[in-house]
Structure formats: structure tokens, C-alpha cells
């Protein structure tokens, strides 16, 4: 092989490397997207598509004066199982003994919530998401 053949191979490999890097940057997934929640819903945890340990608690933050209905994996969670901090509007639920679920099973979980105001004008809303436990 001649010197020109080696140069051509190196030039071709360099062009291929630049093409692969450009393609990877162009089609890479942007995970820094900001979560957009409905106006009445202030915060949720875990976030959509999060991977969390089985000890996780669901936390839903609504403005004070709202009432929540929580549905986990198509089961309505009784209000008696949900902890509620009235002053902040935070609802917390975690599986445990003598509850609808004793533990989170590994895998995907589907959460659906709906809310409405307790007094005043109605402000009904719904939101659903999924997350994975490991």
C-alpha cells in the first residue's frame, strides 16, 4: 500500500467519525425538558417516567382548599389511607400494611388524580402519569 492509500483510509475514517458524532448529537434525546403541570397542580412526586425505589411515597401538592381523588393502578385509594397536610395542601400516600397495596411491585405504575375545590367556584382537573419502581 502506498502513502496515499493510508491517507485516504484515515481521511475516510475521520469523516465517518464526524458523521457518527453529528448524527448522535442531532438525534439524542433531550431529558432536560421542563415538566408542565395543570395550573391547579403545584407539584408531584415521583415525576412522570421516573425510576424510583419501592419505598417511594406518592406526593401530590395542590393549593390549600382542594380535594383529591387518587387512583393507583386502576384502584381508587380510600381517603382514610392518604395523609393530608391541610395548611400546605400536600397529599401523601405510600403502600403499607392494612392499605390497598402492601408494597410497590417492581415495574410500571399508573397514577391518575382528579381534584376540585372544597368551597367557592369549581376548579375541577385531572392528571395522569406513570413511573417505574425497581
Which residues constitute the domain of residue 110? 43-133
Q: Give the pLDDT score at 129.
A: 96
With respect to residue 127, please indicate whether it lies within any of the assigned structural domains. Answer: yes
With respect to residue 68, please indicate whether it lies within any of the assigned structural domains. Answer: yes
pLDDT tens per residue, range 78-101: 999 999 998 888 999 999 999 999
What is the rounded CA–CA span in Å between residue 15 and residue 97? Answer: 61
Q: Give the pLDDT score at 22.
A: 84
Q: Give the pLDDT score at 36.
A: 87
Number of domains in the chain: 1
With respect to residue 38, please indicate whether it lies within any of the assigned structural domains. Answer: no
- Dihedral sign (CA 11, 13, 19, 21): negative
| Other C-beta atoms lying within 10 Å of the C-beta of residue 22 | 10
Q: Give the pLDDT score at 84.
A: 93
pLDDT tens per residue, range 2-49: 888 888 899 899 989 898 888 877 766 555 567 889 988 999 999 999
With respect to residue 111, please indicate whether it lies within any of the assigned structural domains. Answer: yes
With respect to residue 18, please indicate whether it lies within any of the assigned structural domains. Answer: no
CA proximity to 62, closest of 91, 92, 83, 36: 91
With respect to residue 12, please indicate whether it lies within any of the assigned structural domains. Answer: no
Q: What is the pTM of this model?
A: 0.72
With respect to residue 87, please indicate whether it lies within any of the assigned structural domains. Answer: yes
Phi-psi map region of 73: left, alpha, beta (phi>0 left; psi -120 to 50 alpha)? left
Grade residue 120 by pLDDT with cuts at 50, 70 and 90: confident
With respect to residue 26, please indicate whether it lies within any of the assigned structural domains. Answer: no
Q: Give the pLDDT score at 30.
A: 55
Grade residue 71 by pLDDT with cuts at 50, 70 and 90: very high
Q: What is the CATH number of the domain that holds 99?
A: 2.60.40.1220
Amino acid at each position: 500500500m502506498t502513502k496515499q492509500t493510508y491517507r485516504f483510509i484515515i481521511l475516510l475514517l475521520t469523516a465517518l467519525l464526524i458523521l457518527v458524532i453529528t448524527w448522535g448529537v442531532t438525534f439524542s434525546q433531550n431529558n432536560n425538558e421542563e415538566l408542565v403541570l395543570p395550573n391547579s397542580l403545584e407539584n408531584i412526586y415521583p415525576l412522570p417516567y421516573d425510576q424510583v425505589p419501592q419505598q417511594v411515597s406518592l406526593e401530590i401538592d395542590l393549593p390549600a382548599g382542594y380535594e383529591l381523588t387518587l387512583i393507583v393502578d386502576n384502584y381508587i385509594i380510600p381517603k382514610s389511607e392518604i395523609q393530608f397536610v391541610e395548611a400546605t395542601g400536600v397529599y401523601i400516600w405510600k403502600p403499607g400494611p392494612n392499605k390497598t397495596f402492601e408494597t410497590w411491585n417492581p415495574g410500571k405504575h399508573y397514577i391518575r388524580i382528579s381534584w376540585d375545590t372544597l368551597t367557592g367556584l369549581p376548579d375541577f382537573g385531572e392528571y395522569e402519569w406513570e413511573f417505574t419502581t425497581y
